[in-house]
Structure 1
Amino acid sequence: MTISSSPNQTAPRPVFIVSDGTAITAETLAQAVLTQFPNLNYEQRRIPFIDSVEKATATADRINQVQERTGMRPLVFSTFSRKTISEAFCEECTGYVTELFRSFVNPLEEELGMESTHQVGETHRIRNEENYDRRIAAIDYTLTHDDGQTDYGLEEAEVILVGVSRSGKTPTSLYLAMQFGIKTANYPLIPEDFERGTLPEALQSVKDKLFGLTIAPERLHDIRNERRPNSRYASLENCRAEIAACEAMMNRNGISYLSSTTKSIEEIAATIIATLHLEKHERIG
């Protein structure tokens, strides 16, 4: 049988994320690499906790079987902390293996003149209890101040996201809180605000903390239509009107904003942090 190393035009290229830990780090790094190949059609599988030589060889055999069945060489991204497990896996696996840790750790060991710990799970270990407590407090604050649930304590927010309903405020708020420990509130701008022509009273005193999210009307229509099909709320005409009014209001009030239409949450969060000069607290995991 002929084994192809290039993507098949009809079937997705197999991609495996393998680790002796949770494989979350490996998956994050692999995704960052694969986004550089936007035309690649692939099917990804994550295989965590391969923490013994026996499991490593069994996993390699599983990947080899996929190669035999599909006729395509799998792309494999691994983060094995233990050298013996990594060597056993690489010796058996016929896929194209990228050892993410070895690519960075080995050269650093030489540069620093010291050995790394080679311990599983170091990425996710709690290193600073104060930062951990800050992270939990930020998450609690963000959940309490989601979707304008309460006006109380808005002055404590580090950023307040505004925009029309379903423009991406909630997931962005949670990402900022969970990843960076940033207290984030989000507040919807509604048709009554647009008719009145002014920001909600609760936001008047915290305008310096506001950041807006907008979205393409067609995309908003699709999202809202899943929630409330064939409603006035979801109609394309209404979506266009709300977005136009929202952007006009943000422009009048000097509120920085961006479109969430084609941006990932990571990109949106990075832009918000840079624009408002927010302090990112140490990540825990």
Structure 2
Amino acid sequence: MSENASQERTVVFVSDGTGITAETLGHSVLSQFEGIRFKQIRIPFIDSEVKAISARQKINDIAKYDGQKPIVFSTLVNSVINNVVKQADGVFMDLFLTFVEPMEKELNIKSTHRIGRSHTIADNEQYKNRIEAINYTLAHDDGQTHKDLQAADVILVGVSRSGKTPTSLYLAMQYGIKAANYPLIPEDFERGELPTALPPFKDKIFGLSISPERLSEIRNERRPGSKYASLENCRQEIKAAEFMMRREGISWLSSTSKSIEEISTTILQQLNLGSPIY
């Protein structure tokens, strides 16, 4: 075991579905422990005893290789399958046992205990809406089209590479939000106006900014050594973009030190948009 082994730990997310629920809840717990590096492994679609035995063996192999028990976050619904996996040499965090059983007692009703329930999407209107939002967002990425902007829930603006596209896609995929995004470019700054298609929809606009230093780093990965990526050019564009957003009364924030999740939550709150899709 290395001298840093005490600061490293393998974490396994086991699920009968995609494992996204286990991973999301697990990340919330792991984020409370600083100074430890977590190697994360997802074992999805454990929906039979045969697969459960395989998952158990994989966890045992990890424990043997690491010389310490992996931490296992489980969202397995089937008790038989869950018991098979729990025989593995791991430290188990049974998320359904932790949350579902107390809820059953409080609500005085049995849960469905149906495998994959959290991601059942057949004939689900919300799923349809989410797919429509993703298609809309892809079609309206980077100002590709001015059509149907009235259908947008939010229009993100900011200089190129300030985080508009990943934020738009996150909003679409996680919340079913139709998000268009437009780059603010030197021509807009010279005219002193927003892109021509946007003023009628100003109540839907939210801005993203970024530090010039970080922007220069990102742009140099794409176009190294170019004027586009130079720190001076980045400073000028950021200054002009922030001035324009202040003048137009557009709410904005810097993406420099914020995660996509934080940015998206702020946008939802500021524009009073929807709630998460379950």
What CA distance in whole angstroms lies between the structure 2 residues aligned with 1:70 and 1:182?
42
1:74 is matched with which residue: 70, 73, 79? 70
Structure 1 residue 95: Cα displacement:
1.5
Q: Which residue of 1 aligns with 2:6?
A: 8
Cross-structure match for 2:148: 153
**Deviation of the 1:212 alpha carbon:** 0.2
The one-letter amino acid paired with 2:195 is P
Q: Is the 8 A contact 2:17 2:119 kept in 1?
A: no
8 Å contact 1:8–1:72 — kept in the other structure? no
Alignment equivalent of 2:31, drawn from 28, 31, 35:
35
Matched residue, 2:57: 61
Residue pairs, 1:261-280, within 5 angstroms:
261-280=256-275
Question: Matches of 2:103 and 2:17 in 1, distance apart?
Answer: 21
Alpha-carbon deviation of 1:68?
A: 2.2
Shift in Å at residue 39 of structure 1?
Answer: 2.2
Correspondence for 1:52 among 48, 57, 69: 48
Tell me the alpha carbon deviations over residues 157-194 of structure 1, each in whole angstroms, 9 at most, x when there is no partner: 11100000011111111121222222211010001112
Deviations 1:234-261 (A, max 9, x none): 1122112211111111111111011112
Alpha-carbon deviations, 1:50-80, whole Å to 9, x = none?
2233432332232222222222321111111
* Segment of structure 1 superposing worse, 160-169 or 142-151: 142-151
Q: 1:7 to 1:198 in 2, by over 3 A?
A: same
Give the Cα separation in 2 of the matches to 1:155 and 1:55: 48
Question: Shift of the alpha carbon at 1:7?
Answer: 5.5
Asked whether 1:19 is paired with 2:15, we answer yes
**Are 1:96 and 2:94 counterparts?**
no
In 2: Cα distance, 1:254 partner to 1:7 partner = 52
Structure 1 residues 194 and 171 mapped into 2: Cα distance closer, same or farther (>3 Å)?
A: same
**CA distance in structure 2 between the partners assigned to 1:182 and 1:120 by the alignment:** 28
Aligned CA RMSD, in angstroms, stands at: 2.0
Residue 73 of structure 2 aligns to which amino acid in structure 1?
F
Superposed displacement of residue 127, structure 1? 6.8
Task: Normalising by structure 1, report the TM-score.
Answer: 0.90
CA distance in structure 2 between the partners assigned to 1:135 and 1:59 by the alignment: 32
Q: Distance in 1 between matches of 2:135 and 2:204?
A: 19
Indicate if the aligned counterparts of 1:180 and 1:283 stay in contact, CA closer than 8 A: yes
Structure 2 partner of 1:177: 172
Q: Distance in 2 between matches of 1:238 and 1:225?
A: 12
Q: CA deviation at 1:122?
A: 0.7
Secondary structure at 2:228 match in 1: coil
Give the Cα separation in 1 of the matches to 2:14 and 2:108.
Answer: 28
- Cα shift at 1:155: 2.3
Structure 2 CA distance, aligned partners of 1:258 and 1:213? 5
1:212 aligns with 2:207: yes
CA gap of 1:243–1:85, structure 2 versus 1, over 3 A, is same
With over 3 angstroms needed to count, the CA separation of the structure-2 counterparts of 1:140 and 1:20, relative to structure 1, is closer
- Does 2:277 match 1:283? yes
Q: Which residue of 2 aligns with 1:241?
A: 236
- Tell me how far 1:205 sits from its aligned partner: 1.6
Instruction: Give the gaps of 5 or more residues in structure 2.
Output: none
Q: Which of 134, 138, 162 is 1:139 aligned to?
A: 134
Partner Cα distance (2:131, 2:176) in 1: 8
Larger CA deviation: 132-141 vs 264-273: 132-141
Could you tell which deviates more after superposition, 193-202 or 96-105? Answer: 193-202
Alpha-carbon distance in 2 for matches of 1:144, 1:54: 43
Looking at structure 2, the residues matched to 179 and 69 of structure 1 have their Cα atoms a distance apart, in angstroms, of 36
Note if contact 2:104-2:110 (Cα within 8 Å) is conserved in structure 1: yes
Determine if the alignment matches structure 1 residue 187 to structure 2 residue 182.
yes
May I ask how many residue pairs the two structures share in their alignment? 277
Q: The residue matched to 1:26 in structure 2 has which SS?
A: helix
Following the alignment from structure 2 to structure 1, what is the Cα–Cα distance between the partners of residues 5 and 103?
33
